[in-house]
Structure 1
Amino acid sequence: MKTNAIVRYFNLRTLALALFYALTSIASYWAAYELRFDFNVPENHSLDRVHTIHWVVGLQLMLLMAAGQFDSILSYFRLPDALRLFGGLFANALILLSMWYVYKGHNVPPRAVILTYFLISFLAIASFRVIMRIQSSRGLEDWFAMESAENVLIIGAGEIGAGLCSDLMNKSRLGMRPVAFLDDDTNKVGRYVHGVLVANIVDEVAAVAKRYNASKVVIAFPSASVKRMRQVAELARDAGLAVDTVPALTDLVSGRAELSQLRPIELEDLLGRDTVDLNSDDIRSMLAGKRVLVTGAGGSIGSELVAQILSYAPSELLCVDQAEIAIFNLRQNVLKATASAHTRITTRVLDILNQPQLDKLFEEHRPEVIFHAAAHKHVNLMEDQPTEALQNNFLASKQLARIASAHAAERLILISSDKAINPTSVMGASKRLAELALGAQQNAPGNNTKFMAVRFGNVLGSSGSVIPIFRKQIATGGPITVTDPEVTRFFMTVEEAVGLVLQSATQGSGGEIFVLDMGESVKIVDVARQMIALSGLRENTDIDIEFIGLQPGEKLYEEVQHLSEELQATRHARVMRFVAPKDANFDIEKLNADLQAAIAGGHVREIKQAIQKHVPEYTPSL
């Protein structure tokens, strides 16, 4: 029944279009004769008009159908539609002119009539289509809405900016009126895009905003460098303008977002770095058709790993996390959106310290590639609970490595931390111990699994990181608490971090520790100030910044390598390698026994001293 209704609708629609084109063509043909003979058509030509109109109009209708005009939606009319319409009508004119030369004008309209017919038909149909587009996109309520629309400047007069301008003009319900463009290309200044002037270069945003009474800028060059994005945002904020940006270029290309789906510019846009160029072929070769396990799959890093791994079509993806709510959120927010028909996805609520359950998991699923992201990562919390840090970060990693080797997994990649470098915290030291455990398993007799670790710094927006904390403090009116005015940290987006983890995994032959290029460190107080500005507030007027001093286990600045480490370049510019030398004196079982004894005693000071015994570069807070 529904199919019949659709067919009936399209038949009626096609008939209506055919009738419109037929009437327009008849009127145009008739008018062409009148214009050719100054509205005094001779009798013989008047008879020719009557005798030829049926087949001339019929020919034009057939060519319009061939040009796809009968399938068009009248309210959508852009340059490609105009070109198709022009092509169909022009083809009709060429055929008629050819016939005139072949038949020497016998029973064929005069040449001037043919050309006039072509021009009138094109103008009539194109004008009607333009009117239909205007009518559909701007009803009366839209015209009134434009009176109260917000004046906006568009930064970037390229294809993205032009498309955004068109969208805002046609979707006036969005309440934004583009009044001017700004662009870094001086050759574009003074020109018009969709009737909107490219008023000046971007650095003159304050003057242009004042001239056009604009209250907002929209940054419409998603491929620009992060540095340039930051500069433009600062110029706009200094001018007292709100700052929005278009969706990411990848979302626009994939169709996940539209140009008009603007969002406020966020800290991630200003602290992140330029897009990473990954060797996707190597990653695909490592993951395609493989059975992949991700531990800590519900966390910030784990969930992004899951999303990116799925794009490389593994045969099976096993997602494990000890937190029930983390697995629930993963299934709702990630797996529903990225599930693939080529990949079998399994989720498990499981503590990897549970040896029998972990063994059973490996026996059932036989994972080939393992990404170990499960960890306790909060420095302050773990400083008072070293037992938890050791059990989850070291003992669980040691057990996972042993079981992976026993089941002949192809490779295991540990997600480590820059806090494992010359650690001053229990969390950092426990991560360093996990690296040592993987190194020991790599050198164990009979091992065929490739073990490697990847270190990187703070991930923007991850749970418990400084940025969500600052957002909450701003929302409650402050103050924002910063440990020290000189404290610095490295930041990267979760997408970049995970992409580089996958890239690192392709380069490992076993026993390596990879260090991601974190770029330049950022002062935490500068992060706080940027977040205040992005919220449209003023420091010391709306929100205060309070310095509370470094907490136990915290560093003033993070380091990129151990005192004794020498980093080597890899095939990727943002990934460096450290190959740990085989230490004949290192005894993983002695390390394990000492730490287990200290854990059994339960004294924080003794546990930290036991860690320091085996990680001499660790400087504990006692």
Structure 2
Amino acid sequence: MSRNRLVRYLNLRSLALILFYSIISLASYWAAYELRFDFNVPENHGVDRINTLTWVVGLQLMLLIASGQFNSILSYFRLPDALRLFSGLFANALILISMWYIYKGQNVPPRAVILTYFLISFLAFASFRVLMRVKSSRGIEDWLTMDSAENVIIIGAGEIGAGLCSDLMNKTRLGMRPVAFLDDDLKKVGRYVHGVLVADTVDEISTVAKLYSATKAVIAFPSASVKRMRQVAELARNAGLAVDTVPALTDLVSGRAELSQLRPIQLEDLLGRDTVDLNSDDIRNMLAGKRVLVTGAGGSIGSELVAQILSYAPAELLCIDQAEIAIFDLQQNVLKSAAAPTTKIITRVIDILNEAQLVHIFNQHRPEVIFHAAAHKHVNLMEDQPVEALHNNFIATKQLARIASQHSVERLILISSDKAINPTSVMGVSKRLAELALGAQQSASGNQTKFMAVRFGNVLGSSGSVIPIFRKQIAAGGPITVTDPDVTRFFMTVEEAVGLGLQSATQGSGGEIFVLDMGESVKIIDVARQMIALSGLRENTDIDIEFIGLQPGEKLYEEVQHLSEELKATRHARVMRFVAPQNTTFDIEQLCSELEAVMQRSDVREIKQAIQKYVPEYTPSV
């Protein structure tokens, strides 16, 4: 709607509302006389009624305007709105009574008429507002407010903010009272939502917080840009407010969360990026009605894969993980709340290195699409245990790819890592070997499966990542340990990474390595400082930061492309495709044979040297 049309619409709405209220007020005044004189109004009082009608009704309309009745959204009507309506009409009655005594009843309605007029007007206006509200009311508790609770400012007076306000008023056990809204839309400022005033713009949060004695701000615009979210959080913290936010839109839409399930604003909200626009039709065409297998389904990436895949209604979703507790957590935290009435969900505790079990699973469930997220991913732990990293990340992937090809799986998508690019760690090179294993299987004789890999950056909040470590260090009183003041990393939210991973899977024809647009790299020292601020603490006063030096296998900065790889665009702006020249001298079977021989001797240096022979870009730490 254009600005001019919007202005005309608002003007017409205001005129229509004033006209409607005028009719109600006029009818109430007329009825008050009829009731006072038992529907037989004397001639002299009838003349007085006509003579006073204009200014009495005009006075009432002015007081209704003063009490905010014309600024309220009609479909929102609660006890605060009723009290505001009552106060405006009661003020009108007091003025008329005062005038009756001042002018000794001359040219002023009788006292009984004034009282009756007040009562009829209140019932008429309140009934009108109730009719506008009743269709969205859930019961008598929907009309009550809290007697004693924490004063909360809701930032964002849109649908999400209005719904949150309603929830907080309903659920008094949460102990939060909405006292004001803030919104950047100037047309909303000065109006009421559920009886709560849109007090000002967001930039005036400090003034509004003092005026309403608020102690907390809730950010209720989950679709806002990350940059704006960061600015608002900073303004709220500077105003001395605790900052909460509503769940993500994806969680609200999927039913995994309710509006009132507030959480403190976290680093993920401030380091992530704007919502990814996915081509859901392509993903749905790939998954709907299919039998899907997710390995490592209980991990941070695997569980998000499960949640997002379920929203595309596969016929069957098989979730496997070698960790019993991971499968249990998946069942309790994801599968119970996921809405997938048409999907058969199966969970199994299985080690994908167990070939016999894996073949049995394929024979029994015949998966058509596989997302391979099972992996060891902790750089420091794997550096001294290359045998474990190679078994779980490389050999298991090679075996899974072979079995998938034998069972004519449509496509297999490996969740790889940016640490596979010019690797310096055992974990990184084991993921690179997994990519090479997929490439070899793609070229195998008779293969019909589409194999592809998707390289993720650091996923915010995933197990073993820097964010949970920093949280624990802050909770313990510090210090926060940072390897180097110049170390940088790429960060993505798990929702964004998985969403783009699904998007990548729709574009592969076999043999590709996709990399996600990870934006700008972030200094780890800046991450530590932001986390200290989010905790309400001060650097070097409450929490110290300590530099411990780069650990074996770690890089100062991550890379996005190997020198031999050619970058090509895809149909999605946030997904890129790497094409490496075909290495005709690479022999995956010879590599496995040699690695298995050296792995039996468990000599870390020898294993790293054997890997470097086949992955020359690998620079091992010795």
Smaller-chain TM-score range?
0.7 to 0.9
Tell me, yes or no, if structure 1 residue 35 matches structure 2 residue 33.
Answer: yes
1:238 — aligned with what? 238
Partners of 1:319 and 1:348 within 8 A in 2: yes
2:343 — aligned with what? 343
Tell me, yes or no, if structure 1 residue 553 matches structure 2 residue 553.
Answer: yes
Alignment of 1:587-602 (within 5 A): 587-602=587-602
1:395 — aligned with what? 395
1:295 — aligned with what? 295
CA distance in 2, matches of 1:142, 1:366: 56
CA distance in 2, matches of 1:392, 1:600: 15
CA RMSD of aligned residues (A): 3.2
Partners of 1:482 and 1:545 within 8 A in 2: yes
CA distance in 1, matches of 2:519, 2:453: 19
Aligned residue pairs: how many? 523
Alignment of 1:141-220 (within 5 A): 142-143=146-147, 145=148, 149-168=149-168, 174-190=174-190, 193=193, 196-220=196-220
CA shift at 1:437, angstroms? 0.6
CA shift at 1:388, angstroms? 0.6
CA shift at 1:451, angstroms? 0.5
Aligned-pair identity (%): 79
Alignment deviations for residues 208-229 of structure 1 (CA, whole Å, 9 cap, x no partner): 4344443322212221111110
CA spacing shift, 1:526–1:135, aligned 2, 3 Å: same
CA distance in 2, matches of 1:131, 1:438: 60
Unaligned stretches of 5+ residues in structure 2:
1-26, 42-72, 78-118
Moved more, 463-472 or 258-267: 258-267
Moved more, 520-529 or 505-514: 520-529
CA distance in 2, matches of 1:402, 1:546: 47
Tell me, yes or no, if structure 1 residue 510 matches structure 2 residue 526.
Answer: no
Partners of 1:142 and 1:173 within 8 A in 2: no
CA distance in 1, matches of 2:31, 2:182: 50
Tell me, yes or no, if structure 1 residue 616 matches structure 2 residue 616.
Answer: yes
CA distance in 2, matches of 1:166, 1:314: 35
CA distance in 2, matches of 1:227, 1:379: 31
CA spacing shift, 1:197–1:32, aligned 2, 3 Å: closer
1:452 — aligned with what? 452
CA spacing shift, 1:258–1:594, aligned 2, 3 Å: closer
TM-score scaled to structure 1, two decimals? 0.77
Q: Which amino acid aligns with 1:538?
A: R
Unaligned stretches of 5+ residues in structure 1:
1-28, 44-77, 83-116
SS at match of 1:206: helix
Tell me, yes or no, if structure 1 residue 379 matches structure 2 residue 353.
Answer: no
CA distance in 2, matches of 1:198, 1:125: 24
CA shift at 1:409, angstroms? 1.0
CA spacing shift, 1:288–1:128, aligned 2, 3 Å: closer
Partners of 2:151 and 2:214 within 8 A in 1: yes
Alignment deviations for residues 388-436 of structure 1 (CA, whole Å, 9 cap, x no partner): 1111111111111111111111111111000000100000000000000
1:20 — aligned with what? none
2:405 — aligned with what? 405
Partners of 2:389 and 2:427 within 8 A in 1: yes
CA distance in 1, matches of 2:271, 2:159: 26
Tell me, yes or no, if structure 1 residue 224 matches structure 2 residue 221.
Answer: no
Q: Which amino acid aligns with 2:300?
A: S
Moved more, 127-136 or 369-378: 127-136
CA distance in 2, matches of 1:415, 1:467: 21
CA distance in 2, matches of 1:135, 1:367: 51
CA distance in 1, matches of 2:122, 2:204: 46
2:529 — aligned with what? 529
Alignment deviations for residues 50-92 of structure 1 (CA, whole Å, 9 cap, x no partner): xxxxxxxxxxxxxxxxxxxxxxxxxxxx94599xxxxxxxxxx
CA spacing shift, 1:613–1:201, aligned 2, 3 Å: same
Partners of 1:32 and 1:120 within 8 A in 2: no
CA spacing shift, 1:172–1:402, aligned 2, 3 Å: closer
1:89 — aligned with what? none
CA distance in 1, matches of 2:74, 2:295: 51
Moved more, 149-158 or 214-223: 149-158
Q: Which amino acid aligns with 1:383?
A: E
CA distance in 2, matches of 1:441, 1:476: 48
SS at match of 1:277: coil
Alignment of 1:417-496 (within 5 A): 417-496=417-496
Tell me, yes or no, if structure 1 residue 606 matches structure 2 residue 614.
Answer: no
CA shift at 1:187, angstroms? 4.6
CA spacing shift, 1:327–1:118, aligned 2, 3 Å: same
Partners of 1:416 and 1:431 within 8 A in 2: yes
CA distance in 1, matches of 2:213, 2:328: 48
Partners of 2:458 and 2:489 within 8 A in 1: yes
CA spacing shift, 1:298–1:162, aligned 2, 3 Å: closer
Partners of 1:138 and 1:172 within 8 A in 2: no
CA shift at 1:161, angstroms? 3.0
SS at match of 1:555: coil
CA distance in 2, matches of 1:476, 1:454: 36
Partners of 2:256 and 2:338 within 8 A in 1: no
Moved more, 372-381 or 558-567: 558-567
CA shift at 1:600, angstroms? 2.0
CA spacing shift, 1:42–1:172, aligned 2, 3 Å: same
2:498 — aligned with what? 498
CA shift at 1:479, angstroms? 1.1
Moved more, 466-475 or 241-250: 241-250
2:416 — aligned with what? 416
Q: Which amino acid aligns with 1:618?
A: Y
CA spacing shift, 1:619–1:173, aligned 2, 3 Å: same
CA spacing shift, 1:137–1:282, aligned 2, 3 Å: closer
Partners of 1:511 and 1:580 within 8 A in 2: no
Alignment deviations for residues 79-132 of structure 1 (CA, whole Å, 9 cap, x no partner): 4599xxxxxxxxxxxxxxxxxxxxxxxxxxxxxxxxxx9989745745898999
SS at match of 1:416: strand
Q: Which amino acid aligns with 2:591?
A: L
TM-score scaled to structure 2, two decimals? 0.77
Moved more, 344-353 or 469-478: 344-353
